[in-house]
Amino acid sequence: MATAASSFLNPIAAELEGVGPKPTAKALARRARQRRQILVMIGASYLIDAALLMIYAYAGTIPATIGPAFAVCGLIFVVGSIALSELGFNERFRDHYLVAPQSIINMVIMLAFIWIAPEVGVMFLCTLFVVFSFSSLRSTPQQTAMVWTAMAFGLAALFLLTDKPIAMPHGSYIERFATMTVFILTIGRCMFIGIFSSAMRQSLYKSGVDLKEAYKRIEELSELDDLTGSLNRRCIMGVLDEEIARAHRNQAPFSVALIDLDWFKRINDTYGHPTGDEVLRTFAITVFANVRPIDKFGRYGGEEFLLLLPDTSDEGAARILDRLRAIIADLDWSAFSPGMQVTISAGVATLKPNETPDIILARADSALYAAKARGRNRIASA
Residues 317-327 have pLDDT tens digits of: 999 999 999 99
If you count them, how many residues does the chain have?
382
In a domain, 227, yes or no: no
Give the DSSP H/E element, type plus range, for residue 42. Answer: helix 25-58
3-state secondary structure of 86: helix
The partner residues of 306 in beta bridges, in order of sequence, read 258, 298
In a domain, 135, yes or no: yes
Do 197 and 255 share a domain, yes or no? Answer: no
Asked if residue 11 has pLDDT above 60, the reply is no
Do 347 and 261 share a domain, yes or no? Answer: yes
Give the residue numbers spanning the domain of 120: 2-220
- Picking from 167, 195, 220, the residue at the C-terminal end of a domain is 220
DSSP codes of every residue in 45-82: HHHHHHHHHHHHHHTTSS-TTHHHHHHHHHHHHHHHHH
In a domain, 192, yes or no: yes
Q: What's the average model confidence in pLDDT over 41-67?
A: 92
Q: Which amino acid is at 351?
A: L
Do 270 and 354 share a domain, yes or no? Answer: yes
Residues 6+ apart with CB under 8 A from 310: 243, 246, 247, 252, 254, 294, 295
The partner residues of 298 in beta bridges, in order of sequence, read 231, 306
Sheet (strand 379-381) strand order: 296-301, 304-310, 254-261, 344-350, 379-381
Q: Give the whole-angstrom CA distance, residue 329 versus residue 374.
A: 17
- The total number of structural domains that make up the chain: 2
Do 38 and 149 share a domain, yes or no? Answer: yes
Burial class (CB in 10 A: 0-12, 13-18, 19+), 345: buried
The partner residues of 348 in beta bridges, in order of sequence, read 257, 381
In a domain, 308, yes or no: yes
Asked if residue 8 has pLDDT above 60, the reply is no
Asked if residue 365 has pLDDT above 60, the reply is yes
Burial string for 252-288 (b: 16+ CB within 10 Å, else e) reads ebbbbbbbbbbbbeebbeebeeebbebbbebbbebbe
Asked if residue 135 has pLDDT above 60, the reply is yes
In a domain, 210, yes or no: yes
Percent of the chain's residues with pLDDT above 70: 92
The domain spanning residue 310 has which CATH number?
3.30.70.270
Residues 273-284 have pLDDT tens digits of: 999 999 999 999
In a domain, 228, yes or no: no
Do 197 and 247 share a domain, yes or no? Answer: no
Q: How many CB atoms lie within 10 A of CB 144?
A: 16
Asked if residue 343 has pLDDT above 70, the reply is yes
Kindly report the average pLDDT of the chain as a whole number.
Answer: 86
Q: Whole-structure pTM over 0.75, yes or no? A: no
Do 98 and 132 share a domain, yes or no? Answer: yes
In a domain, 226, yes or no: no
- Picking from 197, 220, 243, the residue at the C-terminal end of a domain is 220
Confidence class for position 4, pLDDT limits 50, 70, 90:
very low
Do 201 and 261 share a domain, yes or no? Answer: no
Do 341 and 256 share a domain, yes or no? Answer: yes
- Picking from 193, 220, 247, the residue at the C-terminal end of a domain is 220
Q: How many CB atoms lie within 10 A of CB 174?
A: 15
Do 50 and 198 share a domain, yes or no? Answer: yes
Q: What does the pLDDT read at residue 202?
A: 77
Question: Is the torsion defined by CA of 223, 229, 230, 234 positive or negative?
Answer: negative
Which of 237-251, 332-346, 349-363 shows the lowest per-residue confidence on average (mean pLDDT)?
A: 332-346
Do 240 and 148 share a domain, yes or no? Answer: no
Burial string for 187-202 (b: 16+ CB within 10 Å, else e) reads eebbebbeebeebbee
Confidence class for position 22, pLDDT limits 50, 70, 90:
low
Do 171 and 293 share a domain, yes or no? Answer: no
CA distances from 178 to 51, 60, 130, 175, 185 (A): 10, 12, 17, 5, 10
Asked if residue 245 has pLDDT above 50, the reply is yes
Q: What's the average model confidence in pLDDT over 168-186?
A: 92
Do 247 and 203 share a domain, yes or no? Answer: no
**Is residue 343 within 8 Å of 376, Cβ to Cβ?**
yes
